[in-house]
Amino acid sequence: MDFEQELDLLIRASYPIIFVPTPEEERVEQLIENVTRYGSQRRELFVWDFVDGMRNGLAKNNPVQALNEVEKAGRGDPAVFILRDFHRFMEDIQVARKLRNLSRHLRQSRKTVIVVAPVLRIPQELESEITVLNLSFPTREEIQNELEHLLQQVTVRLTQGGHDALVKACQGLTMDRIRLGLARAVALYGGLDERAIPLMLEEKKQRVRHTQVLEFWPSTETLEDIGGMDILKAWLEQRAAAFTEEARDYGLPNPKGILMVGIQGTGKSLSAKATASLWQLPLLRLDIGRLMGGLVGESEAKTREMIRIAEAMAPCVLFLDELDKGFAGLGSSFVGDSGTSARVFGTILTWMEEKTSPVFIAATANSIESLPSEVMRKGRFDEIFFIDLPSERERREIFHVHLSKVRPDRIREFDLDSLAFQSERFNGAEIEQSIFEAMLMAFDQRREFSTEDILRAMSLLVPLSKTMGERIQRLQEWAASGRCRPASSDAARAGMLGQLFGGAGLGE
């Protein structure tokens, strides 16, 4: 059911007060006008705002008087009253009481009040009186109609593939931002061509930044930038076409996501970026800590907005970094903030399990001790992977990847076998850091760095496997118990050897 159909149904059912939280005031008012004109019954439409008031300045600067005017309007005439930005006045005891009284009157009349505001803010005493109706971002069809309208006015040099890509780039934006972005492209290039696509993507990035909880991350890394993890790579490559219409026609559901549990610095975040790059999808990063707001109801509103934007930009990859820190302690009796954190936690988990939109969640965690058991339950993720310290073969690959970036023409001069052997129990981040340290030492002497410089740098570096040895061992033992899938075939073989000999977490 679309917005107009649902609104028409609520009005026919005599819902007294409807709240539409949306920044698209012009668009929603046009949709409401469509319902009053062409819906199940024609209705008169009135609009009030604080500056201009209602008809001929009536109830100007006076929200209580505005509600009185709604009450005095003819009982027998069906009417809809739009109150702009009225959320700002509902905290006032006089306005709140008047709304509750008016709600009784509206149920017996043929009148409906619709509050249109950019944010959802409803006092607790009015929650039972007000029905929230969300307005989705413009649909693909609405965007195509807007493009068709524009095509009649400007020069267009778009292929069919470019047209589809432009529509996709516009998804997740308000209609106002779409129009502004397209107008900017026309002003820049004298018409509409495929150069408009990156402009619209930039508009999308700006929209994501405004949420303050989502970031639009570049996904330039590829699977070739990851050393090892052959099982994880194969799993991702197998699902590269899972978001296509062909996959839907075949009957495949949209992939839900993966949880990558592992030791710090082993490439979990890199894998999330490479996933978006491999599937050619936008990558959004969620900062769970920023969901927590100071005002009552703000955290829940931010969570709903995050979900709404992620689904509007789908298909996309939503990156939840360090899930264990964001959800630490929220799954049990967390009452330090009157249950706000628990409600946010529950909303996200429910959405993760029940969502049907093509939002793929790539989550990472460094520890399973502080991760609530609800996160690990089947249905939240398609698979849980454990990323262990790299094996000798994988360390050789990691050295090759990083040295190829900084010295692609000298890669054969480095003794990769020696470097891989001497870097036992180093993670990928520590290998990269040892290369940078070697480069600094050599640069200080104004010469090229060598294998010996890297070995010297490694001898000065204390790896995480020593400073956090006990925690890493517990994590390896948890993974060896069969509760997750190894990301590497080397780790899988090491795990089988550990079970065979009665140990766990064997290094090589």
Domain boundaries, the chain: 3-132, 140-209, 231-387, 392-424+428-462
Residue appearing with tokens 């589809």: 164
Q: Which CATH superfamily does the domain covering 231-387 fall into?
A: P-loop containing nucleotide triphosphate hydrolases (3.40.50.300)
Neighbours of 374 (CB within 10 A): 17
239-297: per-residue pLDDT in tens? 988 888 788 889 998 899 999 998 888 999 899 999 998 998 889 999 877 777 655 56
In this prediction, residue 10 carries a pLDDT of: 96
Distance CA 412, CA 414 (A): 5
Do residues 217 and 285 make contact, with C-beta atoms less than 8 angstroms apart?
yes
Please check the confidence at residue 391 and state whether its pLDDT lies above 90: yes
Distance CA 114, CA 258 (A): 41
Please check whether the two domains, 231-387 and 392-424+428-462, share a CATH topology: no
Distance CA 423, CA 417 (A): 10
Distance CA 180, CA 168 (A): 16
In this prediction, residue 328 carries a pLDDT of: 66
In this prediction, residue 342 carries a pLDDT of: 79
Query: What is the pLDDT confidence band of residue 1, given thresholds at 50, 70 and 90?
Result: low
In this prediction, residue 102 carries a pLDDT of: 94
Please check the confidence at residue 499 and state whether its pLDDT lies above 60: no
Phi, psi for 326 (deg, rounded to 5): -70, -35
Query: What is the pLDDT confidence band of residue 338, given thresholds at 50, 70 and 90?
Result: low
48-60: per-residue pLDDT in tens? 999 999 987 899 9
11-45: per-residue pLDDT in tens? 999 999 999 999 899 999 999 999 999 988 899 99
Distance CA 203, CA 206 (A): 5
Residue among 322, 321, 339 at smallest CA distance from 330: 339
In this prediction, residue 208 carries a pLDDT of: 81
Residue among 32, 38, 35, 110 at smallest CA distance from 70: 110
CATH class of the domain defined by 3-132: alpha beta
Q: What is the mean pLDDT of the chain?
A: 87
Chain center to CA of 418:
42
Give the global pTM. 0.75
77-129: per-residue pLDDT in tens? 899 999 999 999 999 999 999 999 999 999 888 899 999 999 888 999 999 99
201-240: per-residue pLDDT in tens? 888 888 787 777 888 887 788 899 999 899 999 999 999 8
Of 20-24, 329-333, 389-393, 475-479, the poorest mean pLDDT is in: 329-333
145-176: per-residue pLDDT in tens? 888 888 788 888 888 888 888 888 888 888 98
Neighbours of 303 (CB within 10 A): 23
Residue with the bigger pLDDT between 376 and 381: it is 381
CATH of 392-424+428-462, one of 3.40.50.1100, 2.60.120.10, 1.10.8.60, 3.30.300.180: 1.10.8.60
Chain center to CA of 136:
16
